[in-house]
Amino acid sequence: TDFSKPIFSVIFTLSSHNPYAVPARYKGKFPIGTAKIHESIGYADFALMQYFASAKKQVWYKNTLFVLTADHTSSEGTGYYSNDVGRYAIPIVFFDPSNPKLKGIDSTIFQHSDIMPYVFKYIGFSSKFLNYGNDVNLKEGRFVINFSNGVYHFIYDDYYLLFNGVEVLGAFRWKDDRLLKHNIYGTKNDTIQKAETLLKACIQSFNSRVINNKLTP
């Protein structure tokens, strides 16, 4: 397929989402596994293989940065993957066929809104832009924020906060307390206070910009 340059394209799939539908011609071709999602994951993996087999034949393949990610983990997750932190512990993969140095695993806190600044830096884009993610070069004080079912979920370094827009509902050391059983909000902790302030600042800034139509740099 011919595209005008530069190319930016997004593909959103629902193969591994409830009801986990697999095309009829592929039924029985992938392991059923122990959960409803497993067969559809097999199909999704197969589909990705077919996609990249085709992409390799395109003239733009070696000049493309591919980004693969999910929105959340399976609703059938258990233990850590069933709570509000583990439910969003998903992989984000960057793949550039022309760059053999872009490899390895990095467990740095990263969120969907960090994708844009990362990509911009990678391709050498230097103009101003507005983004509520982390600075690419930031090593400490990184954060993750999302809003679900009326509650803000905020991770700041080793701490996880829940905020309903009025008050903090809880704070947890999510790396040590994987099942979020020990609410430590209310204890004297400078990092928790810093996290709460940053969360409220993000909310205030975003809401103000939306109300005043200023979602620009």
In tens, the pLDDT along 72-100 reads 888 787 889 888 899 999 999 999 999 99
pLDDT of residue 75: 78
Task: Report if pTM > 0.95.
Answer: no
Q: Report the percent of the chain where pLDDT is more than 70.
A: 99
ω into residue 6 within 30 of 0, thus cis? yes
pLDDT of residue 195: 96
Contact 30, 39 (CB under 8 A): yes
Average pLDDT for 177-202? 95
Q: Report the percent of the chain where pLDDT is more than 90.
A: 76
Question: How many residues in the chain?
Answer: 217
Record the tokens describing residue 167, joined without a space: 């008050």
pLDDT of residue 74: 86
Residue 137 confidence (pLDDT) above 90: no
For residue 200, count CB atoms less than 10 angstroms from its CB and return exposed for 0-12, middle for 13-18, buried for 19 or more. middle
Residue 18 confidence (pLDDT) above 90: no
Count of H-run helices and E-run strands, the chain: 3, 6
Residue 4 confidence (pLDDT) above 80: no
Q: Which DSSP state fits 119? A: H
Q: Distances in Å between the alpha carbon of 99 and those of 10, 63, 102, 103?
A: 21, 10, 6, 9
Average pLDDT for 170-180? 95
Close Cβ partners of 117 (under 8 Å, ≥ 6 residues apart):
129, 131, 133, 134, 135, 136
CA 174 from chain centre, in angstroms, equals 17
Residue 68 confidence (pLDDT) above 70: yes
pLDDT of residue 26: 94
